[in-house]
Amino acid sequence: MTRKKLEKLGLDLPLLPTTTVGSFPKPPYLLKARRDFMSGQLKSEELRALEERATKEWIKFQEDMGLDVLVDGEMYRGDMATYFARNLDGFKISGLVRSYGNRYYRKPVITGEVKWRGPITVDWWRFAQELTEKPVKGMITGPYTMMDWSFNEYYPSRRDACLAMAKALHEEVRALAKAGAKIIQVDEPAISARPEELHEFAVEAMEMVMKGVDAYFITHICYGAFEFIYPGMLDLPADNFDLEMSNSELDLMDMFRAHPFTKDLSFGVVDVHSHIVEDVETVEKRIRRALEVLKPEQLWIDPDCGLKTRTHDETLGKLRTMMEAVKRVRGDVTLEARVRE
Amino acid sequence: MKILASNHSSYPRVGDGPGEQKHRQAYTRMERGEISEEEFERVQDEITKEVIQRQISAALDIVTDGQIRWHDPISHLARHLEGCEINGLLRFFDTNFYFRQPVVKGDLRRRRPILKREFEFAKKVSAKLLKPVITGPYTLAKLSINRSGSGLRSVVKWFTKVVSEEIADLVEAGASLIQIEEPAILRNPGDWEVFQESIEELVSSKGSSDLLLCTYFGDAAPLYQKLSKLPVDGLVLDFTYSPKLPETISRFGGGKKLGLGVVDGRNTRMENSDEMTGVLRRIISTSGPEEIHVMPSCGLGDYLPSDVAFQKLKKVVEITNTVRASL
């Protein structure tokens, strides 16, 4: 079904399309440039030039790897929620809040009506797409995650805040589609935070974001607790669910056996939270296990999550392993698909 | 009736100014091996002292040590136990904060007393009543991975023994009011029997101190009647999840001591004082506990920036004063 949608959009992807979740590690020169920019020692156009250089490098890297669907690498983003909050009306940014251990972040604060004031990611998407013939995904942080990861001083309820976010993000999605993005990813890592809210308003919010936009939609979900929202989460109106599978030790497969997965699935086969590069056999086994419960036409292959916390070499190692494993499985799968035809 | 302004538990260890990064910087240096663990402890002592002073300057009657030394509510105790290892990160309930998950392999044993030294230091530097806080056995067990081969009841029992020993140590060190945090029971009411056994056992080690049983991040109303029958000296409850809680307390009575978490510890929005004092007056007039602690709904250390946390404590004091004046 969704294969047809891809074809209708003019996207000719092989079986088991390969992609990544969104972020790549920032090269040392860009990390330094960001620090210099923060302390006022670098102009914004100088920073922008280095972000473009890093984006070009990552696009080339993905092409060299042979990935099928590319990302811009998010060289211009800090945190995935504050980046959007800074570019929407109605937000300010808080002081430091603890995330875990010795990690702190600045959290968006909703202080007024949330409004889209113009394209946020479209220029970056266009810049990346012009560098390659392969499709580049448009990427936004979803309304539920934006709401859950923000303080709310303005809206009377979480629902109101979430739906207001959805209205604003719908404009961004439309702008991406208008610019030519055919695959758009809506990141919702927080979606399982309060399972009861899935049907109270999270599904409705995602519907608002995607409504009337002609694109193939992926939603990326991580940080677990799927057992509380599956199979209900299939009501989210995405074509493809991008889930972390290796980090949750593939226990989702049992859930998919009990209740079939009805959408396409981007299957995270390498663990982005570990420095260790998996061996090809392990990853190959993971893909074959996925094929026990999914049709080859449903399955995409990618890492668990964004790769920004890994080193360049770990990123290279993990993606090489992934591509090699896909190559091994693809031959068999193509044959099976032909036999079925 | 006594009405006191109280902190809940944790308090931010890092602020926004360049001079407020001491804890964070020392932590990094300790991890890099540039300073020893003893030197890091001294920084933690210093921050603990500052955090207590800050609570006193907000005019609170009951303060805490801010749990400055706690990695998170779960692994702080677990990392000092034999029979247990510390695993990866997991979201702490429905918050944006992550804790390290313990893996329980068998019977648990303390290598040494854990909270006693922390409490003794904090008590020494506090001019106000200092309330130590401990995560309860049921929540510790429920948020751990159980690889012991035994059931939940055994793991709760093992943690209960450890927490009982901690309570006895705290009492010996002079603690007169101790808060036991059991948020996990609100989401798992089916485990009530195991939970009740554990709390009853804890109570037997409390000596002359008063034990407050605390829940948060969920609606306590459905369990309130059962909670209020437990042999503890008081309950501490989160009012931000629970529109029916004031009514429920009015119906079943407020008990001996009652901690009212009416100031939202998870959101930067400042409460409307009139609204809050209205709620408090209603609870006080209908349920009549002997002592009320007005407080934030949860620890502030892992959810709010430092400047807002301080404003929230001042809000607690403002509400307390208004209610006191109106009685």
Contact B177, B129 (CB under 8 A): yes
The pLDDT score that the predictor gives to residue B164 is: 98
The pLDDT score that the predictor gives to residue A125 is: 98
pLDDT tens-place string over residues A219-234 = 999 766 677 899 999 9
pLDDT above 80: residue A200: yes
Residue B296 DSSP class: E
Looking at the partner chain, which of A101, A151, A224 has a beta carbon nearest the beta carbon of B268? A151
pLDDT tens-place string over residues A102-130 = 999 999 999 999 999 999 999 999 999 99
- Inter-axis angle of helices B37-57 and B116-124, nearest 10: 50
Task: Name the band, by pLDDT with cuts 50, 70 and 90, for residue A2.
Answer: confident
pLDDT above 90: residue B288: no
DSSP secondary structure letters along B125-137: T-SSEE--EEE-H
Closest CA to B232 of B279, B289, B297: B289
Q: For residue A88, what are the contacts with CB-CB under 8 A and spacing of at least 6?
A: A114, A115, A116, A117, A120, A168
Q: What residue segments make up the domains of chain B, in order of their start? A: 2-326
Residue A278 DSSP class: P
Q: What is the mean pLDDT of chain A?
A: 93
When pLDDT is averaged across residues A233-241 and rounded to a whole number, the result is 96
Task: Name the band, by pLDDT with cuts 50, 70 and 90, for residue B285.
Answer: confident
pLDDT above 90: residue A273: no
Q: Is B308 on the interface with A (CB under 8 A)?
A: yes
Q: Which residues on chain A place their C-beta less than 8 Å from a C-beta of chain B?
A: 94-102, 104, 107, 109, 148-149, 151-153, 190, 193-194, 223-225, 273
pLDDT above 90: residue A131: yes
Q: Is B181 on the interface with A (CB under 8 A)?
A: no
The pLDDT score that the predictor gives to residue A341 is: 53
CA distances from A16 to A1, A53, A294 (A): 15, 30, 11
Q: What residue segments make up the domains of chain A, in order of their start? A: 2-340
Contact B303, B95 (CB under 8 A): yes
Q: Is B90 on the interface with A (CB under 8 A)?
A: yes
Q: What is the mean pLDDT of chain B?
A: 96
- Per the structure block, which two tokens stand in for A40? 């006022």
Looking at the partner chain, which of B14, B98, B269 has a beta carbon nearest the beta carbon of A96? B14
pLDDT tens-place string over residues A181-198 = 999 999 999 998 899 999
Q: Considering only CB atoms, which chain A residues are within 8 Å of B88?
A: 273
Contact A16, A299 (CB under 8 A): yes
- Fold exhibited by the domain B2-326: TIM Barrel (3.20.20)
Interface test with B, best of A39, A79, A97 (most B CBs within 10 A): A97
Share of chain B above pLDDT 90, in %: 88
The pLDDT score that the predictor gives to residue A252 is: 76
> What's the rounded Cα separation, in Å, for the pair A92 and B165?
46
pLDDT above 60: residue A9: yes
Task: Name beta bridge partners: A172.
Answer: none
Contact B12, B304 (CB under 8 A): yes
Interchain proximity A194–B303, CB inside 8 Å: no
pLDDT above 90: residue A247: no
The pLDDT score that the predictor gives to residue A279 is: 93
Q: Considering only CB atoms, which chain A residues are within 8 Å of B13?
A: 98
When pLDDT is averaged across residues B81-97 and rounded to a whole number, the result is 92
Looking at the partner chain, which of B24, B100, B269 has a beta carbon nearest the beta carbon of A104? B24
Amino acid letter for position B132: P
Q: Output the CATH code of domain A2-340.
A: 3.20.20.210
Contact B291, B4 (CB under 8 A): yes
pLDDT above 80: residue A246: no
When pLDDT is averaged across residues B151-173 and rounded to a whole number, the result is 98
Interchain proximity B28–A102, CB inside 8 Å: yes
Task: Name the band, by pLDDT with cuts 50, 70 and 90, for residue A73.
Answer: very high
The pLDDT score that the predictor gives to residue A339 is: 59
Closest CA to A167 of A233, A116, A92: A116
Contact B315, B267 (CB under 8 A): no
Share of chain A above pLDDT 70, in %: 95
pLDDT above 70: residue B229: yes
pLDDT above 60: residue A249: no
Q: For residue B90, what are the contacts with CB-CB under 8 A and spacing of at least 6?
A: A224, B98, B99, B100, B101, B143
Helix or strand holding residue B53 (H, E): helix B37-57
pLDDT tens-place string over residues B101-115 = 999 999 999 999 999
The pLDDT score that the predictor gives to residue A223 is: 63
> What's the rounded Cα separation, in Å, for the pair B74 and B84?
12
Least reliable range by pLDDT among A87-96, A281-290, B104-113: A281-290
- Long-range CB contacts (< 8 A, 24+ apart) of B105-109? B105/B147, B105/B148, B106/B148, B106/B149, B106/B150, B107/B83, B107/B148, B107/B158, B108/B81, B108/B82, B108/B83, B108/B84, B108/B158, B108/B159, B108/B161, B108/B162, B109/B81, B109/B82, B109/B83, B109/B162
